[in-house]
Structure 1
């Protein structure tokens, strides 16, 4: 133990002055004038454990003894009190004559003696959209002592007034800017509300909500409001059956969640008027009774985005009944037809009514009412095709046409309101910002925390990402040099991104990507069948068979070379030897045949079999052999250990595969075998494509190995064949086009009924089989989404519309 000089105050008194409550344990020191002992049994985390947040400038200015002015050394730290994200270090003077224990802070402190870093931690928490527990997790993950929730709650009470004042000042500046840019006496703004509960658009039972008024000319928040039906203090004491003490209650709404939006609209409009800023025109959606509650002096404009959204929703509802609307491009095209007409005729009710009446006839092939400004039919009727409708043809069906005409009539009846549309897109953007500051999976509405977060979103909308520095100044904190730099950098990035997204090229690319995504989703849904739905697992007739996708080589597939030796030269021969090699592991098994090995085959392979003793011989030497079923199971296990194996072999398409396929079928192992392999590649085809016969002589494997590799080997021994062929593959080139399914012949035979009707030819059937498709697969695609389903599946493999139409005709006739 060491004896030290006294401190002016005990640790407990110092902690009381700091107003930061995250210290782990108060460490009491003796009164002034006495000596005391510092031990390690205080329960405090040792100062040398973990990391600390330190302001170097503050630390350097305090690293001298206040008694003798000698330099202090960090390794002389005797103790530490952790105060949130800052600390008080107790450092003993290194002078042997002094030995005074100095109190050294690790950061700046405000007038009330609390550390600034803790106040900034609270503001940073809001800026990052985090909560107290998330801050603690982040800091502890960095091995930094976490700041306690009680400290952050205390900072919330002290700093929220500064945030509110900064947001109100920002809105005041925005109102003045809007007035300067406005050409009329009344301001023009857009209004919309949002809720802090996911799915509130369906449930409408959120306990909190917010609303904003955005200036049309400035694009900034002119005013905002927040509603809450819960107070944490009231809830806490009520839950314990205690008398609720006097407090600033957070509840400012007791009605329904639906009623928040019109009430906030009225409140905002009244507040604007009280401050001398009359709103003359308001852009808003039609989802609430806002207009009926506002003064009649305010003119309302319907929101264009909601008009488009509601139109799309009605069309997608119709698509459940009419398959023609399910194609990825159809509904977006119809929406564009309607919205183009509405946008083009803003300000003219009669022109809008006339063109709206022509949209449905145009979609169904009647162009007598079409305008030449947007319909090209009259330029060349013979060559006219719809770019975004299935197969370039008009929609058909009296029932669908009637539904569409009723839809058009409902918009024609609203032409008077549609001729002057507004936009609440800026409000929707603000709602997204609020969701980043106050995520909907967390609840902040029981205290002023929610309003503080909404106010922060207002600041970011109006002032940019540098808003935090302005709030720091409002709270008597330093603006933060690095905070400013980061805000400026983020603002530059946001401006660059905004400018890019406003270009026509970017918008077209976005539409194209969206179309591709929808098309891909529909194609995969057709191929996968039933995968998700209400109680789908309980349905016995669930359609779960998967249609194979196009085979692709990613470069990580295992190359597995295999070869067979048989009892004869015909395809009906039994297998006597099965070997495979992947560059590292050899699979080699002899199989007990059921037929006699012919003299020709025996002289070629050197294999013979004695049926009396069940003994296999290779060039006269006995070898171990197994039954066919066991060897095939072992081969499947061998393939299971490989990553997406592709089977390679020489002349396997004509000989080895038909024999192995028949044996797998006989042993009922074919489905399991097919699940383990990606496909097959015949090296004979690769060699014929790369080498000239005049230069090679012939394409026998033994000759190719000798000419290309310069090697001799024991030909017609399956184990030697696979090793030499594996080395030869390194000199060959192959791609996805060379892969074919193991059961290609069986797949091709399945198309015989379609070939007989002359809907497709044998070459087309062969192409389909090479793609891994069978008649059953095409039948599934047709049953799931008709001709569109066939188009999704076949277009992936490069088949044209003519083939799709022919196969669709076959299945349509079959249904009839």
Structure 2
């Protein structure tokens, strides 16, 4: 026992052991400091009396896939390429269940959209390649779409290029007809297969990342592209066969992404942060208001500690350990 104690004391007196103890102490202090700025005024005197205490709990945990989630492939056809365009067809599918509906537009269908989809709207009649189709009002069509996805447990909407186009259009239309809150409560998250494809297949393995090209390349299948239901059916096959096993936790995002991105876009435009840094901030749902709260709680080390803290189970910093990146953001927050 004496020999073991002697060897233990000898090891503890070594320079490497002392340096490790200091490092662990520093990491514990940083973790405690980080938790402090994330949790706010959680416990202190007069916590139930003061009215101006900062009680917001900032959660940086990335969204993860639910065990009982249901993946629903969906697609839109619109009157144009603007995010304020009307939806004229919406389709969705999960397993063997399918949904497809046409909706009357409130604006003209652009020439480009008409050529791509084959849809025209003249004299109050919606036609697909010259044949009249049954359609409903936008509010009725969106309500039916919501009722379809409500049938599934924790629905995750999956689509191609939805993060940049389909979802902003859908959110705009749902907001217009007072259905956005219901949608927000219903949907668990989203997956953009364009991002999955770009990460999974590198050129020249694929000519481009259009859905039609991917389906032709990997399924050897041609289909009626730009028909929402045909797009959904082909993507469902591609996703099930080629993509479902390639997903990462970072592929899943929520509606918070858009509010967070909107707050950070000016920082990228003014070159305060890079687009790569913004992507990491978005994964943690760190919006500009949250960054301001963190900085206010600890103006010296708040941002730094949150940025450099290692992700759980890895040695990778949460955002960045670059002093230049951190200092530039702190300078911006101080103005």
TM-score (norm 2): 0.71
Offset at residue 602 of structure 1 (A): 2.3
Which residue does the alignment assign to 2:110? 598
Aligned partners of 1:635, 1:753: CA distance in 2, in Å?
34
2:287 to 774, 786, 800: 774
2:95 to 568, 583, 605: 583
In the other structure, the counterpart of 1:721 is: 231
Cross-structure match for 1:659:
169
Give the C-alpha shift of residue 580 in structure 1. 1.6
Looking at structure 1, the residues matched to 172 and 191 of structure 2 have their Cα atoms a distance apart, in angstroms, of 19
Q: In the TM superposition, what is the alpha-carbon distance from 1:668 to its structure 2 partner? A: 5.4
Give the corresponding residue for 1:565. Answer: 77
Q: Deviations over 1:186-242 (max 9, x none)?
A: xxxxxxxxxxxxxxxxxxxxxxxxxxxxxxxxxxxxxxxxxxxxxxxxxxxxxxxxx
Counterpart contact for 2:102–2:134, Cα < 8 Å? yes
- Give 1:643 deviation, angstroms: 3.0
- Indicate if the aligned counterparts of 1:562 and 1:649 stay in contact, CA closer than 8 A: yes
Q: Whole-Å Cα distance in 1 between the matches of residues 149 and 49 of structure 2?
A: 32
The CA deviation string for residues 664-685 of structure 1, in whole angstroms up to 9 with x for no partner, is 4544554553444343322233
> What do the CA deviations read for 1:257-294 (whole angstroms, capped 9, x no partner)?
xxxxxxxxxxxxxxxxxxxxxxxxxxxxxxxxxxxxxx
Instruction: Specify the alignment match of 1:800 in structure 2.
Output: 320
- The one of 197, 201, 207 equivalent to 1:687 is 197
Q: How far 1:550 moved relative to its partner?
A: 0.7
Higher RCO, 1 or 2 (CA under 8 Å, sep at least 6)? Answer: 2
The Cα shift of 1:740 comes to: 3.9
Is the contact made by 2:272 and 2:332 (CA closer than 8 Å) also made in structure 1? no
Q: 1:788 to 1:541 in 2, by over 3 A?
A: closer
Alpha-carbon deviation of 1:590? 1.8
Secondary structure of 1:719's match?
Answer: helix
Higher gyration radius (CA):
1
| Residues 518-557 of structure 1: pairs in structure 2 closer than 5 A | 522=35, 526=38, 543-544=55-56, 547=59, 549-557=61-69
Match of 2:120 in 1: 608
| Corresponding position of 1:761 | 274
Separation in 2, partners of 1:563, 1:557: 19
How far 1:729 sits from its partner (Å)? 0.6
Distance 1:692 1:542, change over 3 A: closer
- Distance in 2 separating the partners of 1:384 and 1:808: 31
Q: Distance in 1 between matches of 2:61 and 2:201?
A: 32
The question of whether the paired residues in 2 share the 8 Å contact of 1:579 and 1:589 is answered with yes
**RMSD (CA atoms):** 4.5
Residue 719 of structure 1, CA deviation: 1.4
1:315-348 Cα deviation digits (max 9, x unpaired): xxxxxxxxxxxxxxxxxxxxxxxxxxxxx9xxxx
SS of equivalent to 2:330: helix
State the 1:722 CA deviation.
Answer: 0.9
Equivalent residue, structure 2, for 1:627: 137
Contact 1:741 1:771 in 2 (8 A): no
CA contact (8 A) 1:526 1:789 kept: no
Structure 1 residues 381-424: Cα deviation after superposition (integer angstroms, max 9, x where no partner): xx99654136989xxxxxxxxxxxxxxxxxxxxxxxxxxxxxxx
Aligned to 1:388, what secondary structure does the other structure show? helix
8 Å CA contact 1:385, 1:392 repeated in 2: no
Going from structure 1 to structure 2, the CA distance change for 1:794 and 1:652 (only over 3 Å counts) comes to: farther
- Aligned residue number for residue 3 of structure 2: none
- Contact 1:747 1:774 survives alignment (8 Å): yes
Deviates more, 1:583-592 or 1:695-704: 695-704
Q: Is the aligned partner of 1:648 residue 2:158?
A: yes
Q: Distance in 2 between matches of 1:528 and 1:633?
A: 40
Report the counterpart of residue 38 of structure 1 in structure 2.
none
1:775 Cα deviation (Å)? 0.8
Counterpart of 1:389? 26
Q: Partners in 1 of 2:15 and 2:298 — Cα distance?
A: 31
Deviations 1:129-148 (A, max 9, x none): xxxxxxxxxxxxxxxxxxxx
Change (3 A) 1:713 1:534: farther
CA distance in 2, matches of 1:722, 1:792: 41
Instruction: Give the distance between the partners of 2:319 and 2:23, measured in 1 at CA.
Output: 21
Distance 2:29 2:41 in 1: 27
Q: Offset at 1:588?
A: 2.1
